Amino acid sequence: MLNPDLITNAHALLASERANYMKLHPKSAELSVKANQHFLYGVPMHWMNDWGTPVPLFISHAEGAHFTCADGIDYTDFCLGDTGAMFGHSSAPVAKAIAAQASRGYTAMLPSTLAPDVGETLSDFFGLDYWQLATTATDANRFVLRWARAVTGRSKLLVFDGCYHGTIDDTEIDVVNGKTVNRASLLGQVYDLGLHTVAVPFNDLAAVEHELAKGDVAVLLTEPALTNCGMVLPHAGFIESLRALTTKYGTLLTLDETHTISTARGGWAKANSVTPDFLVVGKPIAGGLPAAAYGFSEAMAVRMKAAKDNAPAGHSGIGTTLSGNMMTLAAINATLRDTATEAAYLHMLALAAKLETQLNAAIRAYNLPWNISRMGARLELQFCTNPPSNAAEARAAQNDTIESAIHLYLLNRGVLLTPFHNMMLICPATTEADIAKLVRIFNEFLKDLLKGLR
């Protein structure tokens, strides 16, 4: 339970930071008026308007761990496109590969000569033998779900309460009074998603086994840690037990590593020697160009081919025209081989550990009942004493007012956090000075938040 006086202070801070933001960003305000003439809510994607800023922050340039806004202010970027730019904005090898491909064609509905190389790169990086490409992680999850149902002949999908796997219909659910129902915020959803999707609490093996034992679950889809409702880390052995249970009940296990690619080079599954039936990756694999991929074993490839070869010819419902285009292939190779190197990860993990220690020290110094969770290069600040075990606990710790106040306070001082929760990501170009800046301003924020309360 958060101190109500703290929330009153947060409200006051938020009001003064909103005024401060408007003073600092006249050009963004001007661009917002102009963009409103032809874009819904004045932004290319409506949710870009959901950030806590009074008007959207328009960006003119992004490079490494920094970007410059329309008003010429430099920011240290700890959002990094919510993982899309996790290997740094416009890294030199990716920029070079894109420039080289730019005069050689973008898309042709045929594999470019780079294709065999890219297959090898994905296999080396993530450790699975076979791959297919998609354009977004949403699509990759959707396609995996289709394959899983096709190869098992089962209909049900098992996920965890609080999951997010993109805008794939089947996973846009919540658990209300123990029942899996359509997420209340979904627009235009006409099917009852609870008919084929079941969600149970994360870190609850008994609930998982109860569902798997029914024998109708085609696939269990999860991230190694929930990263979209704050962050919920797996209890020791939880994902390993999911592997054992899914094998026991003939259900396929899909690990969505779109965010947990932050864990180590190759992702969480490789680092922890867990082999899923499908592995989904997206966001940063082509340096931030739209690209995603899903990997699987040779045994799964045999089952997939059997399902496809036995189906009538025609649309499979899997694949989109631009997926695996020539430009993307070039960018994937340059990202995974030359940017997301072992040395880059060593740097990211070391800085993230340092940031974790320093943020925890600030929280302790101000005696706040808050905590930091970390998965490799990814950190999350949550307003509860102990890290949450499931989405219900994570949700209970959320406070929109304090969260918005932190975000805007930092933003007005040149530091960007990930919106909609308190996530901080370190990229290969992040420096000691960048984290020192974040820690200094975070301490100043806490001092201001607690003014008159200590």
Q: Is 32 in the site for ligand PMP (CB under 6 A)?
A: no
Rank residues 162 and 428 by Cβ distance to ligand PMP and give the closer one.
162
Rank residues 256 and 393 by Cβ distance to ligand PMP and give the closer one.
256
The H or E element that residue 131 is part of is strand 130-134
Rank residues 47 and 106 by Cβ distance to ligand PMP and give the closer one.
47
Rank residues 21 and 131 by Cβ distance to ligand PMP and give the closer one.
131
Torsion of CA 381, 51, 263, 93, to 10 degrees: -140
202-231 binders of ligand PMP (CB under 6 A): 223, 228
3-state helix, strand, coil in the chain (%, to 5): 45, 15, 40
Three-state DSSP state, 306: helix
Surface-to-core class of residue 114, CB atoms within 10 Å of its CB (0-12 exposed, 13-18 middle, 19+ buried): middle
Which of 53, 76, 101, 136 contacts ligand PMP by CB under 6 A? 136
Rank residues 145 and 362 by Cβ distance to ligand PMP and give the closer one.
145
**Closest residue to bound ligand PMP by CB:** 166
Which of 89, 149, 165, 421 contacts ligand PMP by CB under 6 A? 165
Binding mask 65-94 for ligand PMP (x = CB under 6 A): -----------------x------------
Q: Is 161 in the site for ligand PMP (CB under 6 A)?
A: no
Q: Is 323 in the site for ligand PMP (CB under 6 A)?
A: no
* CB atoms closer than 10 angstroms to residue 289: 18
Rank residues 88 and 419 by Cβ distance to ligand PMP and give the closer one.
419
Rank residues 159 and 362 by Cβ distance to ligand PMP and give the closer one.
159
Rank residues 67 and 164 by Cβ distance to ligand PMP and give the closer one.
164
Helices 238-249 and 205-212, axial angle in degrees (round to 10)? 10
Size of the site for ligand PMP (CB under 6 A): 15
* Closest of 43, 38, 46 to residue 57, by C-alpha: 43
Torsion of CA 354, 359, 360, 361, to 10 degrees: 90
Q: Is 64 in the site for ligand PMP (CB under 6 A)?
A: no
Q: Is 404 in the site for ligand PMP (CB under 6 A)?
A: no
The H or E element that residue 222 is part of is strand 217-222
> Measured between alpha carbons, how far is 154 from 56 in angstroms, rounded to an integer?
45
Rank residues 45 and 306 by Cβ distance to ligand PMP and give the closer one.
45
> Measured between alpha carbons, how far is 431 from 428 in angstroms, rounded to an integer?
8
Q: What is the smallest separation between the CB atom of 388 and ligand PMP, expressed in angstroms?
A: 17
Part of the chain binding ligand PMP (CB under 6 A), chosen from 28-36, 130-138, 310-318, 369-377: 130-138
Helices 4-24 and 400-411, axial angle in degrees (round to 10)? 30
Three-state DSSP state, 405: helix
Name the token pair of 449: 């938040």
Q: What is the smallest separation between the CB atom of 164 and ligand PMP, expressed in angstroms?
A: 5
* Closest of 226, 159, 164 to residue 378, by C-alpha: 226
Torsion of CA 19, 21, 25, 30, to 10 degrees: -60
Binding mask 266-305 for ligand PMP (x = CB under 6 A): ----------------xx----------------------
Q: Is 373 in the site for ligand PMP (CB under 6 A)?
A: no
Which of 53, 138, 180, 325 contacts ligand PMP by CB under 6 A? 138
Rank residues 9 and 373 by Cβ distance to ligand PMP and give the closer one.
373
Part of the chain binding ligand PMP (CB under 6 A), chosen from 133-141, 353-361, 379-387, 388-396: 133-141
How far is residue 35 from each of residues 42, 53, 54, measured CA to CA in Å?
Answer: 5, 16, 15
Q: Is 382 in the site for ligand PMP (CB under 6 A)?
A: no
Q: Is 430 in the site for ligand PMP (CB under 6 A)?
A: no
Binding mask 251-270 for ligand PMP (x = CB under 6 A): -----x-xx-----------
Rank residues 136 and 335 by Cβ distance to ligand PMP and give the closer one.
136
Q: What residues pair up with 373 in beta bridges, in sequence order?
A: 380
- DSSP secondary structure letter of residue 284: G
Give the residue carrying structure tokens 């025609």: 314
Q: What is the smallest separation between the CB atom of 136 and ligand PMP, expressed in angstroms?
A: 3
- Contact present, 373 and 387 (Cβ < 8 Å): yes
Kindly list the residues in this chain that would bind ligand PMP in the complex (CB under 6 A).
Answer: 82, 136-138, 141, 164-166, 223, 228, 256, 258-259, 282-283
